[in-house]
Structures are given as C-alpha cells and as structure tokens.
Amino acid sequence: MDEEPERAKRWEGGYERTWEVLKEDESGSLKASVEDILFQAKRKRVSEGHGQVRLGMMRHLFVIIDSSRSMEDQDLRPNRLTSTLKLMEFFVEEYFDQNPISQIGIITTKNKRAEKLTDLAGNPKKHLAALKKAVDSTCVGEPSLYNSLNVAMQTLKHMPAHTSKEILVIFSSLTTCDPANIYELIKTLNALKIRVSVIGLSAEVRVCTILTRETGGSYNVILDESHFKELLMLHVKPPPASSSSECSLIRMGFPQHVIASMSDQDAKPSFSMSHLDSTGEPGLTLGGYYCPQCRAKYTELPVECKVCGLTLVSAPHLARSFHHLFPLEAFQETPLEEYEGERFCEACQGELKDKSVFTCLACKKVFCVECDLFIHDTLHCCPGCMQTDRTS
C-alpha cells in the first residue's frame, strides 16, 4: 500500500511500523504477510465469476450508510463520513454505468434509528444530490442494524422475483442497538432471498459475519482508503443470480430521442415527467424520449415510466450490461522465472518485474499484474486480441 501515489502526507498518516514491512521475508515463507494473502485474493477475484453463470442484471440495491458517532473517526481523511460519501458518489456513478437497468436506494442510520435518504430509483442524479447534502449532517449516537435492514426489507420484499435484491451495509460502528432479536430478521431476509453484504470500516463484528454468511453476501473490512474503494467497486459487478429466481420476459421500451427541429414552428417546450415530483431545476425542453406505450416525455434514460410503469432504456444501456455475461477469460499465470521471451508488458510496455506474468490464452500476449487487473476490471477485452482482429 505504500506505493500509493495519492498517499496522505507522512505526518497525517497513522502510527506505523515501517520496519515490519521489511521483515516479512526474514524467516522464509513461514510468515506470509497479510499483503500476500490479499494479493492472492485480488487475483482470485479476477478468475472467479468467470464461466457461464447467470447474473442478476436487474438489481435493486439498498445502501445502508452508518452515520453514527464512530463515523467521525479520522482514520480516513478528513473523516470516515466524508470519505465514505465521496466514495459513494463515485460508486453510484459507476453502478449506473455498469448496471443501467438497475436501481439504488440509500438509507442512513444514527441515533438508533434508520432513515431513508433516497428511495429506490434508477437515476443517479437524485442520489448524488442527496449524498452531497449528507456531508453536512452530524454523526451522533449508535447505529441500528435491525432498523435499517428492516426499512430496506420493507421495500425490497415487494420487488419482483426476477430481480436481484441486495443490501450493502457500510458499517463503521462496532455495536448495534437493536429493538429485537436480529437473528430472526436474518432468517426473514434469507427467506426473502435478499442478499446482504457488509463493508466494515473498523473490525470484524460477529453479527455481520453471521448476517452475510446466512444471506449469501460478502463481508469485508477495509485496510485503508484505497482498499475501501476496491471493496466498494466489487459491488458494482452484478452478483450471480440464485438458481431459484424465476425467469420471465420483461417488457421494456426503447424510446427514440426526438428533437423538434428549430425550424418546426409548432414545437413547444414541455416538462419532463420526471420533474413532476422534484422541485428543483424546472426544465422546459424541446426534445426528449417519449414512452412508446403512453407517449409520456422524459429527458433522461433509464427510467421507469411514471404513467404506465414500463422500463425505458436505450439499446446501449443493455449492451453495456452485456460484458458481464461474456467476460474476458482469465489470463494464465506463470512465474517470471519460467517465462521465456521478452520481458515487456504488452499493454503498458513496462518491464515485467512482479513474480508472475499473465498470458492471454487467445493471442499469447503477455501482461503484468496491474495491466491484467485493468484489462479484466475495466476494459473487458484483451488489447492483444483486438489488435490481431484488426490486422487480420
């Protein structure tokens, strides 16, 4: 983690024992450091999830953000709350980028209560605005895991069975103040097939371990800010759908964007349906998307039609979700010593220095660890293969 370029100033960093970083190889492999294990986990993530699995592409995700007293802790800069909210903004954008036909909702919990910040909705703007506003809120009291899960569950349980129902808890406190036995609630969540994942900001809490294990989610604890971001990004990818979730055909509308030409004198600016409930930014626009079923007008996609309830998306949106279904195959890992050939990464042109190199099985090009991760996480296609495709 020390090589992180955006690292905070030395004096801002926590108390650290630099000599321990040097120590790890002293007694051979016996003391495999945690970093090593983490590296393995990173790789595993890439190799996992490949192959033909059904993914829940239509996701309904509730993010529960702990806003209790412990969020004022300054181990993330400037404090946990600000840092979390900033990352959340990024997460929301990324989430909608990768899951255009999904929805998100945000819940905060403090003072033993849970409060819905935003309802489930498919448009990032509202969420981002709410997150920006939440930065100024104060952090007081204890969180209540029970209450917040309950609030999320009340909404999620009415969602159709073909969607993936998820809750992501960002839990900073080490305690929870619950009005009733949480294990009962976990059973109910399990029965409703709601998957709960937790990202812990301080340490492993037993109740979260059980919660995630029972509902099939994941539980991670952050090491520092960059790790936090990494963990959060894990939740951007759609999870595998449970085999029992039913298949059904879903009606969707693909409205065309219609812009009335300036020459057309009859064109009158009109309101978008999505502005009906929001008080801000009154937008009179000329063009927009028109629902193919009821002709209601919207300025942005994706959206659920307010009038007829049809899901309106654009074709590129669906296409973008596509790569999840046909992911790039994992590269073959070989130790550096065994690799013969030029020691240059095909992507970044840097020298191969890590202890293993990665070979694309299709085009036999070689990549370094960082590029391997970048290709699989972001590009979703092998640059080597693309090149050969073009030349041939």
Partner 1 sequence: MIPKLCYFLKLLVFIILNNLILKLKLNIDGLLVYFPYDYIYPEQYSYMLELKRTLDAKGHGVLEMPSGTGKTISLLSLIVAYQKAYPLEVTKLVYCSRTVPEIEKVFNIIYIFITHCIINSYFKIAFQIHFSSVKYLSFLALRFGKEVDGKCHSLTASYIRAQHHSNPSQPVCQFYEEFDAVGRQVPIPPGIYNLDDLKDFGRRKGWCPYFLARYAILHANIVVYSYHYLLDPKIADLVSKELAKKSVVVFDEAHNIDNVCIDSMSVNITRRTLDRCQTNVETLQNTISRIKETDAAKLREEYSRLVEGLKEANVARETDMYLSNPVLPDEILQEAVPGSIRTAEHFVGFMKRFLEYLKARLRIHHVVQESAPQFLKDIYEKVCIDRKPLRFCAERLRSLLRTLEIADIADFSAITLISHFATLVSTYSKGFTIIIEPFEDRTPTIANPVLHFSCMDPSIAIKPVFGRFQSVIITSGTLSPLDIYPRILDFRPVTVASFTMTLARTCLCPLIVGRGNDQVAMTSKFETREDFAVIRNYGNLLLEMSAIVPDGIVAFFTSYIYMENIVASWYEQGILENIQRNKLIFIETQDAAETSMALEKYQEACENGRGAILLSVARGKVSEGIDFVHHYGRAVIMFGVPYVYTQSRILKARLEYLRDQFQIRENDFLTFDAMRHAAQCVGRAIRGKTDYGLMIFADKRYARADKRGKLPRWIQEHLTDGSLNLTIDETVQLGKHFLRQMAQPFRQEDQLGLSLLTLEQLQSEDMLQKIAQIAQQA
Q: Name the residues that contact partner 1, by CB under 8 A.
A: 14-17, 19-20, 29-34, 37-38, 40-41, 70, 75, 142, 145, 174-178, 181-183, 200, 202-209, 220-223
Residues in Cβ contact with 87 at an 8 Å cutoff, skipping those fewer than 6 apart: 225, 228, 229, 232
Question: Whole-angstrom Cα distance, residue 203 to residue 218?
Answer: 15
Q: How far is the CB of 181 from partner 1 (least distance, A)?
A: 7
Q: How far is the CB of 29 from partner 1 (least distance, A)?
A: 7
Residue with tokens 């960093």: 13
CB closer to partner 1, 203 vs 315: 203
Question: Whole-angstrom Cα distance, residue 109 to residue 74?
Answer: 19
Question: Whole-angstrom Cα distance, residue 97 to residue 274?
Answer: 20
CB closer to partner 1, 221 vs 236: 221
Residue 100: is the preceding peptide bond cis (ω within 30°)? no
CB closer to partner 1, 23 vs 323: 23
Q: What does residue 208 show for φ and ψ, rounded to 5 degrees?
A: -70, -40
Q: How far is the CB of 143 from partner 1 (least distance, A)?
A: 10
CB closer to partner 1, 207 vs 286: 207
Q: Quote the tokens at residue 211.
A: 């919660």
Q: What is the residue-wise DSSP string for 312-360? A: E--HHHHHHHHHHHSPPPPPEEEETTT--S--B-TTT--B--SSEEEE-
CB closer to partner 1, 218 vs 242: 218
Amino acid sitting at position 268: K
Q: How far is the CB of 221 from partner 1 (least distance, A)?
A: 3
Question: Across-strand partners of 198?
Answer: 169, 219
CB closer to partner 1, 39 vs 374: 39
Residue 58: CB atoms within 10 A of its CB come to 19
Question: Across-strand partners of 288?
Answer: 258
Question: Whole-angstrom Cα distance, residue 201 to residue 35?
Answer: 18
Q: How far is the CB of 356 from partner 1 (least distance, A)?
A: 17
Q: How far is the CB of 37 from partner 1 (least distance, A)?
A: 5
CB closer to partner 1, 118 vs 148: 148
Q: How far is the CB of 234 from partner 1 (least distance, A)?
A: 12
Q: Could you give the strand order of the β-sheet that contains 288-290, starting from the edge strand earlier in sequence?
A: 257-258, 288-290, 297-298
Residue 5: is the preceding peptide bond cis (ω within 30°)? no
Amino acid sitting at position 9: K
Question: Whole-angstrom Cα distance, residue 295 to residue 111?
Answer: 45
CB closer to partner 1, 15 vs 281: 15
Query: ∠375-378-381 over CA atoms, to 5°?
Result: 50
Q: How far is the CB of 41 from partner 1 (least distance, A)?
A: 6
Q: How far is the CB of 69 from partner 1 (least distance, A)?
A: 8
Residue with tokens 């450091």: 33
CB closer to partner 1, 151 vs 368: 151
Residue 373 near residue 356 (C-beta atoms within 8 A): no
